[in-house]
Amino acid sequence: MQTIKAAVCREFGAPLVIEDIRLADPGVAEVEVTLDAVAICHSDISYAEGAWGGHLPAVYGHEAAGVITALGDDVSEFQTGDTVVVTLIRACGTCPNCAGGRPTICENPTDGVKGPIRTADGAPLLQAMACGAFAEKVVVHRSQMVKIPADMSREAACLLSCGVITGVGAAVNAANLRAGQDVVVIGAGGVGLNAIQGARIAGARRIVAVDMTEEKLEIAREFGATHGVLASDPTPWRKAHKAFGGRGADAVMVTVGAARAYDDAPRYLGWGGKAIMIGMPHADAQSGYSPMGMSYQGQGLIGSKMGDTVIQRDIPWMVDLYQQGRLKLDELISGRWTLDQINEAIADTKTGSAKRNVILF
């Protein structure tokens, strides 16, 4: 085992601690990646605050890009020196969901406590989300990576690992948007802006962004929203209907982890519309809706994990869009930080004003 530096969570809600940890060599079907960049996702923050429980100590972080520096056995599709993005989507490839083209809901999740990392004294250390990327290096399963051009900016590339594929994928894969449809996106944070981009790329006619501040609504317009509605309005869905010419939305994508947003989502829908559930509330959060109304109008609720993405198919496509200037990545980066500054970067992310903060190694 080798020693690397990582940001370790030893107490939910407490600052992360930069310390030495031990990293095993890659085993069968595993790859070691030396990281250049990792972005901070709100899921990392929620996890570190105890929203979903789990083992401690732990290393979070799951939006990463870097270079392969070691290969385990049974890895033929990659070579040392390849530039890759690393995702949390670990797929066994053989369960019914993986075989059916839905690797984001693989039925055989890994046990992160038995993963490749240990504390400096050899105690168990959780590799959260099968990544543990708030660290100098990671060892992950080969299914979690996609090769990208060597000259692509790593700080832009790492955003493809979660926030971009989740938002764009929710629009294209989960909502299955068609040209000319009307869309509402609740939340104009990192994932929401990408859901807006995805709707624009899919050819949506009108895209209404809903958020708490005019500042974020203005940013949403830069990413493709045609209208903005303040969530603080007593009946924001009525304003969305007005923007659509008096009808409801074909799809509403909820990108925030707030139960109230899920309560309101069906109100935006038109006949045959569907609400895409993307943001993850705390484990004990509850929401409610009228099943009669939704049944009568042929509406639906659809859960979307990681944008229903197939990374080997979707990430190369998104890289092409970025290189063509059709997908914004650089504009998503709010700040650049070092690993030693990770707690400041998390605090800045929690203010709600940041799109994505990136840790650079």
pLDDT digit string (tens) for 20-30? 999 999 999 99
Annotate 122-157 with b (16+ C-beta within 10 A) or e (fewer).
eeebbbbbbbbbbbbbbbbbbbbbbbbeeebbbbbb
Q: Are 180 and 207 in contact (CB under 8 A)?
A: no
Residue 8: which of 103, 136, 184 has the closest Cα?
136
Q: Name the pLDDT band for 241 (thresholds 50, 70, 90).
A: very high
DSSP H helices, 103-189, are 154-157, 163-169
Q: Report pTM.
A: 0.94
pLDDT of residue 154: 97
Q: What would the two tokens of residue 281 be?
A: 């509330």
DSSP 73: S
261-314 pLDDT, tens digit per residue, is: 999 999 999 999 999 999 988 888 899 888 999 999 999 999 999 999 999 999
Cis peptide before 26 (omega within 30 of 0): no
How do residues 256-270 score in pLDDT, each as one tens digit? 988 999 999 999 999
Domains and their CATH numbers in the chain: 2-161+328-360 (3.90.180.10), 168-305 (3.40.50.720)
DSSP per-residue string spanning 174-227: IS---TT-EEEEE--SHHHHHHHHHHHHHT-SEEEEEES-HHHHHHHHHTT-SE
How far apart, in whole angstroms, are the C-alpha atoms of residue 221 and residue 218? 5
pLDDT in tens, 149-202: 999 999 999 999 999 999 999 999 999 999 999 999 999 999 999 999 999 999
Mean pLDDT of the region 64-83:
97
Q: Is 229 helix (H, G, I), strand (E, B) or coil?
A: strand
Instruction: Report, as an integer, the average pLDDT of 237-259.
Output: 96
Q: pLDDT at position 354, please? A: 81
